[in-house]
Chains A and B, each alone.
Chain A
Amino acid sequence: MMMKGMAKKKMSDTSRLKLESHRKGSDHLAGYLSISPWLIGFILLIVGPMIASFYLSFTDYNLLSSPNWVGLDNYRALFSDGRFLKSLEITFKFVFISVPAKLIFALAVAMLFNTGRKGSSLFSAIYYIPSIIGGSVAIAVVWKQLFGRQGAITQILSMLNIAEGNLIGNPDTALLVLIILVIWQFGSPMIIFLAGLRQIPKELYEAASVDGATKVKQFFHITLPMLTPVIFFNLVMQTINGFMTFTQSYLITGGGPLDETLFYAVYLYETAFEYLRMGYASAMAWVLLMIIAVITLIFFMTSKYWVFYQDGGRY
């Protein structure tokens, strides 16, 4: 960390002293002073609320009267709450379909652009636009109209005889409409993949083709292994974000029809801020935290078996 052994001959005693104390480095006051904005926020907005939320999850707090201790009742009730179990199922389904689909699509297009044809950077910029605005209310308005009863995409699909009728109002297709919205935003992982692809040394491919390896073989034995750190990063981030998805389901489908798009975050919001069941919702929040923690842990623990680090180091 410290730069040692630098040749500095002409140096006054005072500045040498200063420099030595700097290299030894510790300055608690200046350190705490500079991180104080974050530290205060961390204590007041994160640690405090987390303790409070953990406590509330064992109470029946409803914002209006003071909380009563109910022990594990909230957690027990969760697992016999049909809507909760439904929201769990829907969210898992949503995450495990949309995240791999988005990443596979992003990788495929990134590889196409990596052939270095003219206009690739212009196209990749255009493909990136949906990632910027995809989470906005405006796009939710558009999606609601496009896939609605008389929407443009509904009409195109019915002309092509692919699907008929209101795609958002149909319990079988509503989730798909939201998954399409996620895949539509494949631009940002695509750009990360492109950056990753450009770092793969060309010599590897040259050596492989001298050895007579086919393109398919090269993909599975060079490209894919070399990209695993980037895939890993994307997988973790997109999965975590997927579990917290709120805005688009809340606005486009309202969790419906028949709770077929009732995402975890939507049900949690309803419970807390529409029914004011703060205690119960806090229990839901902690279950969500546990789910995300376990999944992240699984990713990290399995990573040594499938994530390949070129320098042998950690990501």
Chain B
Amino acid sequence: MRKNKRLLGDIIFYIFTIGLGLAMIYPILWMFASSLKPASEIFNHAISLWPSEFIWENYSEGWAGFGGIGFSTFFKNSFFVTSIVVIGTLLTGSVVAYGFARIDFKYSKILFACLMGTIMLPVQVTLIPQYIIFNKIGWVNTFYPLLLPGLMGGQPFFIFLLIQFIRGIPRELDEAAIMDGANKFDIYWRVILPLLKPALVTVALFCFMWTWDDFLAPLIYLNNASLHTVTIALRNFMDSSGATSWGPLLAMSSLSLLPQLLIFAFFQKYLVEGIATTGLK
């Protein structure tokens, strides 16, 4: 009797989780399937997840881009911006976090409170003056406004995450290094940084995802089509294309998600642990 009840519970559980799981990934499967469909089928057989014939040309047609600029340029721009921001965040973010976590300096508590405050600050409050300043110094239509935050410690949330991690590293290690004649920089470079690796991986992954996805900053700062990132290019592609080019549009949409999906596939554990322990997005 008890065994039967358990079995029934199992069956309901698997039907529900598999059903919900399929519903959850349907939009993603639909996107990949439709990126290979002939134009007419995207509307007429909208629900289906299997193209009647595979139109690989959707990809080559989409890759050729529009307005004379191909998606290779847009992907190059996105990779350039994203990699600089990720590397910058790892280097400067870890130094800043080390300073807050390990060095006692004047006003450090007040400044730490300022750092925490900026986590909740809406971007809109600083967006307009930032734009005005960057416009004045001629940085609109350059990558600098997108790169700069990454070279200044990165997102405050990442700095906070690194601070918390460094606080968990035993101070005895620092003290042992000092007795060996290490200075503050040696401690950062030889003691803290190697131990910080797991946290740095988490930061790098989330930083990559967020920067890759970023839409508002490129929308505001990049008007010149040859500087557009993939997100902006897709938006323009969507606006400019009629019903006929849904195939190529969905093909490029699928490609744009590939870096994130690959990262998910390979680093799933880091991501899941990252959110579970820190409450990241």
Contacts and interface: CB of A to CB of B under 8 A. Distances in A.
B31 interface: yes
Contacts of A11: 179
A256 B55 CA distance: 34
| Interface of B (DSSP majority class) | helix
Contact of A138 (B10, B105, B257, B281): B257
Interface stretch (B63-71, B118-126, B195-203): B118-126
Contact of B115 (A38, A113, A145, A282): A38
A259 B106 CA distance: 50
Given A42-B114, A45-B148, A138-B253, A133 B17 contact: no
B240 interface: no
A247 interface: yes
Interface string A60-86: 000100000000000000000000000
A34 B188 contact: yes
Contacts of B254: 138
A37 B151 contact: yes
Interface residues of A, number: 97
B155 to A, nearest CB: 11
B260 A136 contact: yes
B103 A30 contact: yes
A254 B271 CA distance: 32
Interface in A108-127: 109, 112-113, 115, 117, 119, 123-127
A58 interface: no
Nearest to B124: A285
Nearest to B108: A31
B276 A194 contact: yes
Contacts of A6: 172, 175
28 contacts: A3-B175, A15-B178, A26-B106, A32-B105, A35-B111, A38-B96, A38-B152, A38-B153, A39-B111, A41-B148, A45-B126, A46-B121, A46-B126, A53-B126, A112-B17, A123-B21, A125-B272, A132-B261, A133-B261, A137-B253, A138-B31, A141-B250, A142-B27, A240-B120, A272-B127, A281-B128, A288-B124, A289-B125
Interface of B: 10, 13-14, 16-17, 20-21, 24-25, 27-28, 30-31, 34, 42-44, 46-47, 92, 95-96, 98-100, 103-106, 108, 111, 114-115, 118, 120-133, 135, 148-149, 151-153, 156, 159, 170-172, 174-175, 178-179, 181, 184-185, 188, 209, 213, 215-216, 220, 230-231, 234-235, 238, 246, 249-250, 253-254, 256-257, 260-261, 264, 268, 271-272, 275-277, 279-281
Given A25-B104, A128-B272, 17 more contacts: A18-B179, A27-B105, A31-B104, A37-B152, A37-B153, A42-B114, A49-B125, A49-B128, A119-B14, A127-B20, A129-B261, A136-B231, A136-B260, A139-B27, A142-B253, A240-B122, A251-B235
